[in-house]
Structure 1
């Protein structure tokens, strides 16, 4: 791939978001949906509505675990959640910005008005050509712009211009060439659309040259909702390709901030661009310094990193001109604006374009996730990646990949690992316990060792399994299975047998001392 201008981390501001302090937090009050979207990470559950009280308890846990500016209310489809207005009202009352992530199928003018009164700050509408949307099946991305505009106008009109509007589009290899058109469409409607997001499609592929495990137990990716057989040969798109496509119609396109990957610091996982202009012209792009000033000052004065803003702020870009004294990009925009006095009274807009590059799997099996991802969700007492909750629910933990045959296959199999028996409490005089062998040191306690390991066992499978259950093995799941949530407290057989050995030695020493004293007395 010959990039027009390479995306390099050193050129942009690294967004300071992290697991405990972030701009946004993900919330799923329901997993029921009214559409099928290809590649969706969440399985549609007809009975997926959660009681409002349970959702509020989740939010209480979020407050304890994470500082956040906005709550992304998603699903499933949040607009069909029966308590959506009450939930938005509760989120707003807690000082968070409620944002709804929706496919827009159930949106009505009355619902927009009710949500606006409840305190909604923004809508993010997901519209793309790989959805099975009644009345729009088979439509191209260009034809779907009619639907996008209809939704944007409804939000603007019935919220009184108070609620921000963003659009998501999942980008597939067959829709990559639509990026220039979508970017131009977003510019034409800068007065209605504050953000355009391109999410690069990913599928869990079964034909990778990997063995897939959860906690040492082999699993099948075919069970995941985002494993699509017909996408096995799909070549993953990266952020650089999307940036190159945008530059075909906007040569000056230049991002200002990013999030890197957990395994590759050079990868662009969330890439943010802020451009200033109107439907007829783009005056320039805001700099990394501007993004840093905004995030730093928002955190300084409000205690959180900035998420969404109200449209009145993004629709008055002239208000930032005083910052031209400190920022080169604003000086450039201000200079271009001055050259057209006839347009000084026209409204200037700030529009963001975001490129999101989901999980990448490298040749050695490492998974490159978004480092500091805003879309973390509360799950069983932890904040986890929302895009991989399906793994937790089906397998009890996040999957890991190893090159096929290199870990648990054939001749590459290593001899059973040896683990030390539990250490005695401090001050105990018992001697060091002998080493004890276990068939699989990393295997889940409640599950038998994989079949490929049986040939290495010193005893039969029936005899070995009880020994495995007694070993105090570490918990290996990101989110533990209920059966192994706590390690057993029983000591290993070897350690239990070792302790009595101290008594004979102590008796022998006592007899020896007594004999010595008797001899001296005599």
Structure 2
């Protein structure tokens, strides 16, 4: 089902007024992820270089938080110093990690350094020690072990992420249900649709006017049919568990502005009861209020602890009213729910990666929140390896349009968006 973005709030983020700054501290990693777009070419980056990039991100992007990424950032020997420096500039430090190296001691060190959020990426297509060839459902115990660790340490919210493939698309609703049960620790979820460059002859890749081999990129695949999952597909899959699921806001594409590249949902729930999802009016209020008061837009991981106060939003947001009625019914039956400390919000981000269009251009995320520096300029971080290998971003020429259309009609779509 296609998402009608006319009914959603278009996030007001821009390149130079964006809630997220992206900082890549290393390209070393300790596992292999099928959905990874970073190859080890440089190793750990020096602290002074990283500090300069943080300063420039603050100056150029006006971020609310800095997402420290890699590679695997927990491998960087000065990771706590990096977190502390980000924190010293009045920015929130978040770390995107596979969590293989995360233990209680390191979590406490990161907490002392000032980390506010850990984004733990766990999915079934990772060469994770002792967890190979496990399904998303079988990985719930691993996710739960990290929740218990962070619950014990306290003071660090967790966001769990997973790359969505055809093999695990059916489980996204189950992951959301698991996250709700742990809503006191898990502040959000991120689902990234798998994207890669086909290597089976469907695409000819050019960089700087010269043809290049897509197999040189980490993000390439010999099965073009596996990279067509959209944000709408992920949202539809969630409805199996949450029939009332709805999005509130989006970022469109650079070429197809009505394509939701970042699709945001906000779930109002306690650990054992769902009260629905907010609508566009709530997100508009949250973004504009935060910018008016703090001078920055809001990141998707933030959540004020309002408890039942969230239902006051029903005055301006019709989407919240069914949840208010549900909560009032629950309160009449169980008055102690008035003091339910787990009642809060949980954000869900569905990120639809780059889509190659028929004319060879790429539909990227408008106002890309995950831009990183390369040789002093900002580029989408998901395509940095093209710059690191070829010195420029590549474009594609599609050689088999008829095969693509046949595949799309069979719901086995190639990574080519329909015409805008």
- Per the TM superposition, whether the score is higher than 0.5 is yes
- 1:25 paired residue number: 21
* Aligned-pair CA distance for 1:309: 5.1
The CA distance in 1 between the partners of 2:201 and 2:160, in whole Å, is: 32
Query: Which one scores higher on RCO, CA 8 angstroms, separation ≥ 6?
Result: 2
Structure 1 residue 336 and structure 2 residue 295: aligned?
Answer: no
SS at match of 2:63: strand
SS at match of 1:194: strand
The CA distance in 2 between the partners of 1:11 and 1:326, in whole Å, is: 15
* Aligned-pair CA distance for 1:215: 2.4
SS at match of 1:143: coil
SS at match of 2:168: helix
Q: Check whether the contact 1:295–1:305 (CA below 8 A) recurs between aligned residues.
A: yes
Structure 1 residue 268 and structure 2 residue 288: aligned?
Answer: no
- 2:192 paired residue number: 199
* Aligned-pair CA distance for 1:349: 2.0
Structure 1 residue 288 and structure 2 residue 276: aligned?
Answer: no
- 1:132 paired residue number: 127
Q: Check whether the contact 1:121–1:308 (CA below 8 A) recurs between aligned residues.
A: no
Q: 1:375–1:273: structure 2 CA closer, same or farther, 3 Å change rule? A: same
- 1:398 paired residue number: 393
The CA distance in 1 between the partners of 2:281 and 2:398, in whole Å, is: 42
* Aligned-pair CA distance for 1:114: 1.4
Q: Deviations over 1:188-207 (max 9, x none)?
A: 22222111111110111123
* Aligned-pair CA distance for 1:77: 0.7
Structure 1 residue 15 and structure 2 residue 5: aligned?
Answer: no
- 2:141 paired residue number: 146
Instruction: Mark the runs of 5 or more structure 1 residues left unpaired by the alignment.
Output: 407-522
Q: How does 1:97-246 map to 2 (within 5 A)?
A: 97-158=92-153, 160=154, 162-229=155-222, 231-246=223-238
- 2:339 paired residue number: 345
TM-score (norm 1): 0.73
Q: Deviations over 1:306-360 (max 9, x none)?
A: 115566x35x432334444333334443332122221222231211111110011
As a proportion of its length, which structure holds more strand? 2
Q: 1:310–1:183: structure 2 CA closer, same or farther, 3 Å change rule? A: closer
The CA distance in 1 between the partners of 2:399 and 2:159, in whole Å, is: 42
TM-score (norm 2): 0.90
The CA distance in 2 between the partners of 1:271 and 1:326, in whole Å, is: 21
The CA distance in 2 between the partners of 1:134 and 1:44, in whole Å, is: 20
The CA distance in 2 between the partners of 1:378 and 1:69, in whole Å, is: 18
Q: Check whether the contact 2:307–2:340 (CA below 8 A) recurs between aligned residues.
A: no
- RMSD value, Cα: 1.9
- 2:310 paired residue number: 320
The CA distance in 2 between the partners of 1:266 and 1:76, in whole Å, is: 32
Q: How does 1:354-365 map to 2 (within 5 A)?
A: 354-365=349-360
Q: Number of paired residues?
A: 396
Q: Deviations over 1:6-61 (max 9, x none)?
A: 4111111011112111111110111111111112100134x611111111122222
